[in-house]
Amino acid sequence: MLWLTNALFQITFYEDRNFQGRSYECMNDCADMSSYLSRCHSCRSCRVDSGCFMVYDRTNYMGNQYFMKRGEYSDYMSMMGMRDCIRSCRMIPMHRGQFRMKIYERENFGGQSHEMMEDCDNIQDHYRMSDCQSCHVMDGHWLMYEQPQYRGRMMYMRPGEYRSFREMMSGQRFMSMRRITDMC
């Protein structure tokens, strides 16, 4: 049954723009892609055939993150403003059901808190929170953005507890959140 699950996720990375050069096809999480693409510094394009993925500019799912859904990205480095190439990627499982996340103003679940079930384009306007430094994702998969209106650097949040965004992303704070509802 594993082949059915993996068949739902497929992304192919290319060393050059416009899907040229050596390629690496990925159908699951990959913590370090450097052994698959020798010229990673020039890895420039990718094609998502099925599923949704988070891609990272450092190994082990670290660094800047980018959300990719089904489609062709003929030069994603310039499109996304990336300075480095993709070094790891993670599949995002499709979630069916409700979405729930509790956000906290301070680290370690301190300060003002709010439970969310919908997207929020600006926590300051909607909840009168000036900052969000921790959260608990109960249901679903979310993207959190450092600026209002879903702009700036983003972070993928799976179900679990996140006690300190400062420790995770070197001082980054989040001002808007969006559910990953794409039917990739």
Neighbours of 86 (CB within 10 A): 29
Q: Which residue has the tokens 């979310």?
A: 142
Tell me the CB-side half-sphere exposure of residue 37, using CA atoms within 13 A. Answer: 27
Q: Are 101 and 119 in contact (CB under 8 A)?
A: no
CATH class label, 2-92 = mainly beta
Total-model pTM = 0.85
Distances (CA, A) of 18 to 31, 40, 56, 155: 25, 15, 20, 27
pLDDT in single tens digits along all 184 residues of the chain: 333 444 579 999 988 889 998 888 999 999 998 777 665 455 678 899 999 999 998 889 988 899 999 999 988 766 565 656 788 999 999 898 999 999 999 999 999 999 999 999 999 999 999 889 999 999 999 999 999 999 998 999 999 999 998 877 666 779 999 999 976 6
Domain range summary for the chain, segments of one domain joined by +: 2-92, 100-179
Are both 2-92 and 100-179 of the same fold? yes
Task: Decide yes or no: CATH 2.60.20.10 for domain 100-179.
Answer: yes
Residue 166 to residue 131: CA distance in whole angstroms: 12
Distances (CA, A) of 57 to 33, 40, 79, 118: 10, 11, 14, 29
